[in-house]
Amino acid sequence: MASRSLDISQIRSDFPILHRENRSKPLAFLDNAATSQKPACVINAISDYYTHTNSNVHRGVYELAEDAENLYHQARKSIARRFNVTVDQVVFVRGATEGLNLVAQSFGPLVLEQGDAMILSEMEHHANIVPWQILSQKIGFEIRVCPTLPNGSLDREWISREFRKKNLKLIALTALSNTLGTVNPIEEIVAEARQYGIKTVIDGAQSVPHQKIDFQKLGCDFFAFSGHKIFGPMGIGVVLGSKDSLQNMPPYQGGGDMIDQVSFEGTTFAPVPQRFEAGTPNVAGAIGLGKAIDYFDQFEISDVVNHENNLYQIARTGLAEIAGFVEHGTTPHKAAVLSFTIEGIHPHDLATFLDAQGIAIRTGHHCCQPLMKVLGVEATARASFALYNTEEEANRLVDAVKKAVSILK
């Protein structure tokens, strides 16, 4: 479907917010791992829905409701097309966090019993740790934690050894580390897990703007992502599930729209995916996400990755000239996420200085406190790049950090 070259100047014109200033300086938005900016087509789609089509979906028989239903369904079709699934495998949720909670609470008890075990990794976002801890406290299974090697990669040998243990039933992994930029070999891990009958859950929140995911080829049981990381709105996300898994799962929440028949004698539930979409859905968010998917599908993912990697290399090469610079996560072929510390400068102080120069980066533990403990730091500074960032912005980052070091040290 890709049909558009990566003309960065033209692409930047699609994103209204990139033309504003930050602290009276041109905005360099380098916090894309936290959220991406939104193209005008996404903003307009949401505005047009509320202006011309606002109606609740499901069961309305008037024209406005039918129009809203058609737009909502089209969004689901766009997502299904991109990830190579059928529309009944696309479950709308508020984001990857809710999606992982849904999987843990509805699917987890079908797989995990007292005395069983599952695998997480040290690099997981809290959203892929805490839901499983809550479930473990209820059921009594063990959570085993895959170590992170010094370069920021998973310990694959450790995973293979664990897969051979009979009581291991599930592994839940991030496809791409939001802190280290590590691109995990999820296809390889999923294929190996399948050999042992181990279920697989993938946190894809960070991977979707940097990888083309074919759910059928990947072969996992579940894959969750957030719309706002792939140029869509906040408050909307998706769980992709295998048909067998979804059909066998009980509902996550109860309420309107997820039912078939309700009586005080008992309730029957709607088919998948509606069974997992209780209450009034975020129709505008779904429409916006569908439009974002269509927008991103204009580009070859290899062109996007090559462009982002070029910016990462410019920034990394420049910052490596600074005494005391340490990059956290140095795996080959990593994503364009540069997480670093500089000896003698607190990341928050650095980010405040960069903010005054119009440069937006993220600092803190990045919702990865266990990983920070492994790295031996309380926080890192993180610059993360997207398709609309420029070489000039990467160089501005380097120059501003060098200036900050000369002043703050």
Strand intervals (E) in 214-311: 222-226, 237-241, 259-263, 266-269
Query: Which whole-number Å values give the CA distances from 103 to 222, 265, 408, in the listed order?
Result: 8, 28, 46
Residue carrying the six token digits 């000239």: 321
Active-site residue (options: 41, 146, 220, 367)? 367
Q: Going by C-beta distance under 8 Å and a sequence separation of 6 or more, which residues neighbour residue 383?
A: 30, 31, 315, 337, 338, 361, 397
Q: Which two tokens stand for residue 265?
A: 């004698």
CA distance 397 to 358: 10
Omega prior to 150 cis, within 30 of 0: no
Are 153 and 183 in contact, with CB atoms under 8 Å apart?
no
Q: Going by C-beta distance under 8 Å and a sequence separation of 6 or more, which residues neighbour residue 213?
A: 83, 175, 204, 207, 223
Output the CA angle 279-280-283, nearest 5 degrees: 140
CA distance 336 to 387: 10
Q: Which two tokens stand for residue 396?
A: 């501005």
Q: Confirm whether 367 is a catalytic residue.
A: yes
Q: Which residues are catalytic?
A: 367
